Amino acid sequence: QKEVEQNSGPLSVPEGAIASLNCTYSDRGSQSFFWYRQYSGKSPELIMFIYSNGDKEDGRFTAQLNKASQYVSLLIRDSQPSDSATYLCAVNIAGGGNKLTFGTGTQLKVEL
Amino acid sequence: DAGVIQSPRHEVTEMGQEVTLRCKPISGHDYLFWYRQTMMRGLELLIYFNNNVPIDDSGMPEDRFSAKMPNASFSTLKIQPSEPRDSAVYFCASSLSGVLSYGYTFGSGTRLTVV
């Protein structure tokens, strides 16, 4: 079992819709969770982080964490074509120091 | 701040040659990470440093790979000898100690092609 798993996609949504991206992790002691966006040919950039169970909102983005079920999700409201990218979930594994373990990413396509 | 700076952006080399990738972290950041990204395996952590000291090199694939951080503003990742399976994008990232909430800042990456 991979430590961090994501559906590779592509996930296609129409412009203006809500995109829902999911991530599961295997280590119950995981403490912090991150979402990165990576455009083709570019480096990953941090969108959001979440530590506590529940929802965290930042503009059009909402991160959701459920530690009991070991999943974290990212909702993108009012999706725009500029949101088309690969979204990487990253987890700080308990006892892993400051290192992050990344999933392989979900490709999102927002269609006009 | 100029961000994390990596060089070269692209490197094409022949199998068996030595390759050196370079990274300058953000000033003041005391953690530095080297990742490798491929389509099949995604982002894999190779090694990371704290205050110039290697903390975890368990991700280094084999003895052909080595990394150094001689000072707070410079790190290298060396592959000797290089092999075609080393072809990937290599990212350097830096972060502040104890401030994991800010995540990492990645450099632009080095695309390595070994032919």
Residue of B nearest to A36 (CA): B103
**What is the percentage of chain A residues whose pLDDT exceeds 90?**
79
CB pairs under 8 A between A and B: 53
Q: What is the mean pLDDT of residues A91-110?
A: 88
Determine whether the interchain pair B56/A99 forms a contact, defined as Cβ–Cβ distance below 8 Å. yes
- B48 touches A at CB < 8 Å: yes
- pLDDT score for B7: 97
Q: Which residues of A touch B106 (CB under 8 A)?
A: 43-45
User: Considering only A69-73, A98-102, B72-76, which range has the smallest mean pLDDT?
Assistant: A98-102
CA distances, A48 to each of A4, A35, A56, A77, B44 (Å)? 17, 5, 9, 14, 20
User: Predicted confidence band at A43 (pLDDT cuts at 50, 70, 90)?
Assistant: very high
- For all residues of chain B together, what is the average pLDDT? 93
pLDDT at residue A95, rounded to an integer: 74
The pLDDT score that the predictor gives to residue B86 is 97
